Amino acid sequence: MTTVDQFVQAVLASPSPYTGLDQIYVHNRILALVGDDNPVTAVDDQLTSLTDALVQTALTNGKIEDTPSDRDILADQLMDLVTPLPSALNQTFWNKYQTSPQAATDYFYHLSKANDYIKTRAIAKNVVFPATTDFGDLEITINLSKPEKDPKAIAAARNQPQDGYPLCQLCMENEGYLGRLGYPARSNHRIIRLTLGGETWGFQYSPYAYFNEHSIFLDQVHRPMVINRQTFSNLLEIVKQFPHYFVGSNADLPIVGGSMLSHEHYQGGRHVFPMMKAPIARQLDLGIAGVEAGIVKWPMSTIRLTSTDQVALLDAATKIHNVWMDYSDESVAVRAYTDNVRHHTTTPIARKVGDQYVLDLVLRDNQTSTQYPDGIFHPHQDVQHIKKENIGLIEVMGRAILPARLKTELQEVAKYLLGRHNQMVAMHQPWADAIKAKTNITADNVDAVIDREVGQVFARVLADAGVFKWDAAGEAAFNRFVAAVKAD
Ligand SMILES: [Zn+2]
């Protein structure tokens, strides 16, 4: 059987709209994409292997150029053939939901992996390890899954008009979009529709997942990120509909937010993050009946609210958020506004534990200063050799997403620590020397030592991002804020 025939069989066996009578038609659709000649044999009968071989055929036939963009666009067009139409997918999803929410997400997650929308092969390249710290076991990842952007694609993206189509990568209009140079291929992309607060939202998986079943919930309308009572309400509604998932929102301000502030969206999934395992350091009395509150033992300043009552929980969360929006404490450099520019917001994370709703509110402040031009509550200069990017939702919860450069850089640090010839980047030297001074490094322990020390740096990164520090002054300042909430 040729690779084309094998792929036709896979299409007919898939949940796509095509059935036996469509065999010749599907065969010809594939030839239209890859060309009639030069068949390439696949290394095995996996769908991704068949697609790889067909992309190779198309290259040989001159149907595409040898660029990552052209390869991805064609691969996703082929994968589109094994994927149900959005209408059919939504119907099956909500039918399965009647059995259980998990049956529905299992179906959608499996499908998104099977049609290579979730880039499982690329994600497998990531480096992941735990690191024990005073705040429990943090999760360290070095992100090697995102493909290097080629310069032509970067230039194409830069020259794109701001009112392009789709408006952004989180818009519904990406569903089935072919893609182009500088814009990702989305032929095999599907979105589940759901209702939140009377409005239509989309639910999809992240193609370059940072954790298990990494999901994105996106507003049907392209409008900026915002954190308010409606946000908290939407988050609780999502965990009510999908109790086996957590969901959180990035903050709605630069420096302390995510990389996409222009389109309202949340991230969720099926993973228990270190912050969720962190205990309550001290209980708080906010004076709201039916809501338990406490300060979480966590490097970032976090108030945990727990209740079975959605409305009472919303009241408490909104009150904390609103007081924080206007709250300043000069003694710890916390300022809600400078020159009429707002600096305060929260990073909220919701989940369900039994019949209880749990909402963690992380207080954020995005001021900069001459001493800390990148942010007062942002990783400071001396830890930026490991992490200088924004501390967004995922990292707030204790999972570091470190840049790809660190994989090779840390190997050079290891050589340096062992006294071998190395090409260690100069910015790592003070850190490496500090490690050397306190640890007896051997070839057997060097990797474990570096992993542990990266974990220590990440704990420091989170502490830098915390507005109230874990010292006497910070704890007193946190108590004053809580008193202000209670008095409100
Ligand atoms: Zn958008």
pLDDT given for residue 329 in this prediction = 98
Is the predicted pLDDT of residue 245 greater than 70, yes or no?
Answer: yes
Q: How far is the CA of 185 from the centre of ligand 1 (A)?
A: 16
Q: How far is the CA of 223 from the centre of ligand 1 (A)?
A: 7
Kind of pairing between the strands at 199-205 and 192-196: antiparallel
Is 243 part of any domain?
A: yes
Using pLDDT thresholds of 50, 70 and 90, give the confidence band for residue 15. very high
3 contacts: CB under 8 Å, gap ≥ 6: 39, 40, 41, 42, 50, 53, 54, 57
Q: Give the whole-angstrom CA distance, residue 216 versus residue 202.
A: 8
Residue range 454-478: mean pLDDT, rounded: 98
Q: How far is the CA of 128 from the centre of ligand 1 (A)?
A: 31
Using pLDDT thresholds of 50, 70 and 90, give the confidence band for residue 287. confident
Is 104 part of any domain?
A: no
Q: How far is the CA of 219 from the centre of ligand 1 (A)?
A: 8
Q: How far is the CA of 474 from the centre of ligand 1 (A)?
A: 39
pLDDT given for residue 473 in this prediction = 98
Same-domain pairing of 61 and 129: no
Q: How far is the CA of 357 from the centre of ligand 1 (A)?
A: 29
Residue range 160-183: mean pLDDT, rounded: 90
Q: How far is the CA of 215 from the centre of ligand 1 (A)?
A: 16
Is 309 part of any domain?
A: yes
Is 476 part of any domain?
A: yes
Same-domain pairing of 235 and 306: yes
Kind of pairing between the strands at 136-142 and 399-402: parallel
pLDDT given for residue 161 in this prediction = 67
Sheet strands (E) in 270-369:
280-284, 292-296, 302-307, 337-338, 341-342, 344-353, 356-365
Eight-class DSSP state of 201: E
From the list 224, 210, 213, the residue with the least C-alpha distance to 393 is 210
- Domain C-terminal end among 86, 112, 133: 86
Q: Report residue 102 as tokens.
A: 């998990």
Range of the domain at 14: 3-86
Same-domain pairing of 352 and 255: yes
Using pLDDT thresholds of 50, 70 and 90, give the confidence band for residue 459. very high
Is 65 part of any domain?
A: yes
Is the predicted pLDDT of residue 326 greater than 80, yes or no?
Answer: yes
Q: How far is the CA of 265 from the centre of ligand 1 (A)?
A: 9
Is 154 part of any domain?
A: no
Using pLDDT thresholds of 50, 70 and 90, give the confidence band for residue 164. confident
Asked whether the CA dihedral 401, 222, 378, 429 is positive or negative, the reply is positive
Q: How far is the CA of 264 from the centre of ligand 1 (A)?
A: 8
Q: Report residue 365 as tokens.
A: 């402040």
Using pLDDT thresholds of 50, 70 and 90, give the confidence band for residue 428. very high
Same-domain pairing of 335 and 473: yes
pLDDT digits 0-9 by tens, 56-74: 999 999 999 999 999 999 9
Is 252 part of any domain?
A: yes
Same-domain pairing of 441 and 400: yes
SS3 373: coil
pLDDT given for residue 455 in this prediction = 97
Asked whether the CA dihedral 414, 415, 419, 424 is positive or negative, the reply is negative
Q: How far is the CA of 222 from the centre of ligand 1 (A)?
A: 4
Same-domain pairing of 358 and 484: yes
Is 190 part of any domain?
A: no
pLDDT digits 0-9 by tens, 304-320: 999 999 999 999 999 99
Q: How far is the CA of 169 from the centre of ligand 1 (A)?
A: 6
Residue range 147-151: mean pLDDT, rounded: 67
Q: How far is the CA of 94 from the centre of ligand 1 (A)?
A: 25
Using pLDDT thresholds of 50, 70 and 90, give the confidence band for residue 417. very high
Same-domain pairing of 478 and 330: yes
Cβ 317 vs Cβ 306: under 8 Å = no
Query: Which residues crowd ion ligand 1, with CB under 5 Å?
Result: 167-168, 170-171, 222, 263
Using pLDDT thresholds of 50, 70 and 90, give the confidence band for residue 155. confident
Higher pLDDT, 37 or 157: 37
pLDDT digits 0-9 by tens, 186-209: 999 999 999 999 999 999 999 999
Cβ 228 vs Cβ 214: under 8 Å = no
Total count of domains within the chain: 3
Same-domain pairing of 478 and 371: yes
Same-domain pairing of 420 and 478: no
Same-domain pairing of 27 and 140: no
Residue 355: alpha-carbon gap to chain centroid:
26
Q: Give the whole-angstrom CA distance, residue 139 versus residue 132.
A: 9
pLDDT given for residue 260 in this prediction = 86
Residue 451: alpha-carbon gap to chain centroid:
22
Same-domain pairing of 328 and 435: no
Peptide bond into 166 cis (omega under 30): yes
pLDDT given for residue 258 in this prediction = 81
pLDDT given for residue 186 in this prediction = 98
Average pLDDT of every residue of the chain? 96
Same-domain pairing of 290 and 369: yes
pLDDT given for residue 482 in this prediction = 97
Q: How far is the CA of 131 from the centre of ligand 1 (A)?
A: 36
pTM of the model: 0.96
Residue range 335-359: mean pLDDT, rounded: 97
Q: How far is the CA of 444 from the centre of ligand 1 (A)?
A: 49
pLDDT given for residue 149 in this prediction = 64
User: What percentage of the chain has pLDDT greater than the value 90?
Assistant: 93
